[in-house]
Amino acid sequence: MYILIHPMRSVTHPLTMVWFNRNIPSSSRATVISLHSQLDALGQMAVGPGVGLIGRDFGVRVAISTAGLLMLPALWLYGHAIRNSNQLGI
């Protein structure tokens, strides 16, 4: 999985930074980028082992489905951010 995930993260990181630079005021941009990185690491440490245990006990398909379900709040947040940026004319 690392061989698949690492290249995908390498592609999405620059896109995320472009989005941050375009949509976040410079006065708080560094804080948001730092918070994003810290929460990413915290999520990997807190959730990763649990999903690994689910994969070990119930199978890889269930683990991947669980990880996808855990990502749904992020999808909602991105949708909310896109709606707000459209309303602001950004």
Question: Is the whole model's pTM more than 0.75, yes or no?
Answer: no
pLDDT above 90 (res 49)? yes
Residue whose structure tokens are 């472009």: 18
Tokens of 43: 């999520």
DSSP 10-72: HHHHHHHHHHHHHHS-HHHHHHHHHHHHHHHHHHHHHHHHHHHHHHHHH-HHHHHHHHHHHTH
pLDDT given at position 87: 65
The domains of the chain are located at 2-88
Q: What are the CA-CA distances from residue 24 to residues 14, 55, 72, 86 (Å)?
A: 15, 37, 23, 14
Tokens of 31: 């804080």
Q: Which residue has the higher pLDDT, 57 or 81?
A: 57
